[in-house]
Amino acid sequence: MSALLARELALTLRAGGGAMQGLVFFLIVILLVPFGVGPEPGALSRVAPGTIWIAALLSCLVTLDRLFQTDFEDGSLDALALSPLPLEAVTAVKALAHWLTTGLPLTAIAPLLALTLQLPAAAYPWLVAALAVGTPALSFLGAVGAALTLGLRRGGLLTGVLTLPLYIPTLIFGARAVVAAADGQNPVPALALTAALSLAVLATAPFAAARILRIQIR
């Protein structure tokens, strides 16, 4: 399993693997928001939590194609399915690698970008905490969405149509935690719900994704 994780990370991190592109995409989405909303600090700080969360959702989404697509095309996925490692473990490791190269780095740079959006000071630790516990769910749900649209022409758009609605509960709880902290309310309930949802997704999504992959490579 660690060998597979190392392989996934190496493939993503090598030149042209696209690890940076997800982050750059995250940065650009956030850069666009002041142009749409206006530069007033009050308006920006009001939309900052939601903006950062939606940017995180989109960055996860646009990088989903690298989860299974290349392995499906070159036949590695069939090899992985025949390997002694269960396909459920393979999808879990792949989703984990996706999170390590997408969700984790964007969690790390989110406070910096939040600064430009005038997020109130009290909310920073909660922003990092909410993203850290929430973004794994995005990668694991993304594995389900990516598996469903594997091998389709124009599959990328459909991946978004199918995956983004699955992100709604995570978005609601995760953004709520940050908004609550920014408004001086108690962010713990929302954060706890984000974490609970992530744990449930982490436990179940690999099984769903593996089942779907078996349909795809049958």
Partner 1 sequence: MSLWRYANPVEFMRLSGRAMPALWALTAACLGAGLVWGFFFTPDDYRQGATVKIIYLHVPAALMAINAWIMMLVASLIWAVRRHHVSALAARAAAPVGATFTLVALVTGALWGQPMWGTWWAWDPRLTSFLILFVFYLGYMALWEAVEDPEKAADLTAALALVGSVFALLSRYAVLFWNQGLHQGASLSLDAEENVADVFYLPLLLSMAGFVLLFVTLVLLRTRTEIRLRRLRALELRAGRLAEEVA
Non-local (6+) Cβ contacts of 47 within 8 A are 33, 37, 117
C-alpha 95/C-alpha 90 separation (Å) is 9
Using alpha carbons only, what angle is made at residue 196 by residues 191 and 201, rounded to the nearest 5 degrees? 125
Please, which residue, 133 or 144, has the CB nearer to partner 1?
A: 144
Give the range of 17-25, 104-112, 131-139, 158-166 binding partner 1 by CB under 8 A.
Answer: 158-166
Regarding 169 and contact with partner 1 (CB under 8 A), the answer is yes
Q: Within positions 188 to 207, which residues make up the interface with partner 1, using CB under 8 A?
A: 190, 193, 197
Task: Tell the smallest beta-carbon distance from residue 203 to partner 1 (Å).
Answer: 13
Q: Which stretch binds partner 1 (CB under 8 A): 30-38, 89-97, 110-118, 146-154?
A: 146-154
Which residue in this structure is represented by tokens 């600090």?
Answer: 41
In the complex, the smallest distance separating the C-beta of residue 158 from partner 1, rounded to whole angstroms, is 6
Give dist(CA 93, CA 97) in Å, integer. Answer: 6
- Contact with partner 1 (CB under 8 A) among 152, 188, 192, 196: 152
CA distances (Å), 73 to each of 68, 80, 111, 151, in order? 9, 13, 38, 8
Nearest to 138 by CA among 168, 114, 108: 168
CB of 122 to partner 1, least distance (A): 21
Residues that bind partner 1 (CB under 8 A): 144, 148-149, 152, 154-155, 158, 161-162, 165-166, 168-169, 172-173, 176, 190, 193, 197, 208, 211-212, 215-216, 218
